[in-house]
Amino acid sequence: MELLTCNLYHITLKACPEEPIPLYVIQNCCRDLGQALDCLRTLGIIHGDIKPTNIMWNPVKEVFILGDFGLSFYEGKQPLQPIQSAGYQAPEVMRWNSKLKDPANLEDMAVKGCGLASDMWSLGCLLYFLYKRQHLPALPWQQSCNNCMQGKTCHSLCDVFEPQCPTNKTSILIQDLLAR
């Protein structure tokens, strides 16, 4: 295994904090991480901590590599520890992490859903962060959907923030990112 000393944070955010990140860098990152997550999916592994400092750059092969598997787990065998970093947490992970804070909840830890979708959410947050250079703003369901935050199921996130559901333009942008 090669020693990689440069990560996505250093390349894009520390080296050039004021300049926009070129779209081809974001597209390549999306492609490489999508392939990594697909490989993990076939193995039944959830990464659990996708963020810029955990994405290494290999200058020889010119690829981004997903690293730091310290919070990883097999799907369905989630450990009793918080996962995902702030700013990249999926809704179900926020619920999971909040339940872990109270020992009385330990017997009710049958929260389902911290899986591949959680990693995909983190990837989406990462791409948003690279594109906009800011974290995803707090969404309405995070502030007002008591059912979601209490571990109950909402019919759909779109029921909670329908005006802010992805538009066709967002869909086109994502398809364009994946195509390159």
CA distances from residue 170 to 52, 136, 166, 167, 173 in whole angstroms, order as listed: 22, 14, 6, 5, 5
User: Mean of the per-residue pLDDT values for the chain?
Assistant: 76
Instruction: Note whether residue 48 is domain-resident.
Output: yes
Q: Are 168 and 176 in contact, with CB atoms under 8 Å apart?
A: no
Greater pLDDT, 14 or 42: 42
Q: Are 132 and 125 in contact, with CB atoms under 8 Å apart?
A: no
| 49 given a catalytic annotation | yes
Contacts of 49 (CB under 8 A, 6+ apart): 68, 70, 71, 72, 83, 84, 85, 88, 122
Residue 146 to residue 113: CA distance in whole angstroms = 18
What range does the domain containing 50 cover?
6-136
CA distances from residue 164 to 137, 139, 149, 160, 170 in whole angstroms, order as listed: 12, 9, 19, 9, 11
Instruction: Note whether residue 16 is domain-resident.
Output: yes
Model pTM above 0.85: no
Catalytic residue of the set 49, 68, 102, 159: 49
Instruction: Note whether residue 158 is domain-resident.
Output: no
Instruction: Note whether residue 132 is domain-resident.
Output: yes
Residue 2 to residue 4: CA distance in whole angstroms = 6
Greater pLDDT, 26 or 165: 26
User: Could you read off the pLDDT of 106-160 as tens digits, one per residue?
Assistant: 665 555 558 888 899 999 999 998 888 887 777 665 554 444 445 444 443 333 3
Q: How many domains are there within the chain?
A: 1
**Range in 45-49, 82-86, 111-115 with the lowest mean pLDDT:** 111-115
The two three-digit tokens of residue 84, written as one number: 């995902």
Residue 69 to residue 87: CA distance in whole angstroms = 18
Instruction: Note whether residue 97 is domain-resident.
Output: yes
Say what the pLDDT of residue 153 is.
Answer: 45
Residue 94 to residue 97: CA distance in whole angstroms = 5
Catalytic residue of the set 32, 38, 119, 176: 32
The two three-digit tokens of residue 64, written as one number: 């981004």
| 159 given a catalytic annotation | no
Say what the pLDDT of residue 18 is.
Answer: 78
Q: Are 56 and 4 in contact, with CB atoms under 8 Å apart?
A: yes
Instruction: Note whether residue 114 is domain-resident.
Output: yes
Helix (H, G, I), strand (E, B) or coil at 74: strand
Say what the pLDDT of residue 4 is.
Answer: 86
Say what the pLDDT of residue 98 is.
Answer: 79
Instruction: Note whether residue 167 is domain-resident.
Output: no
Instruction: Note whether residue 34 is domain-resident.
Output: yes
Q: Which residue has the tokens 């092969």?
A: 61
CATH label of the domain that carries residue 35:
1.10.510.10
Q: In the predicted model, is pLDDT for residue 179 greater than 80?
A: no
- Which amino acid does the sequence have at 73? F
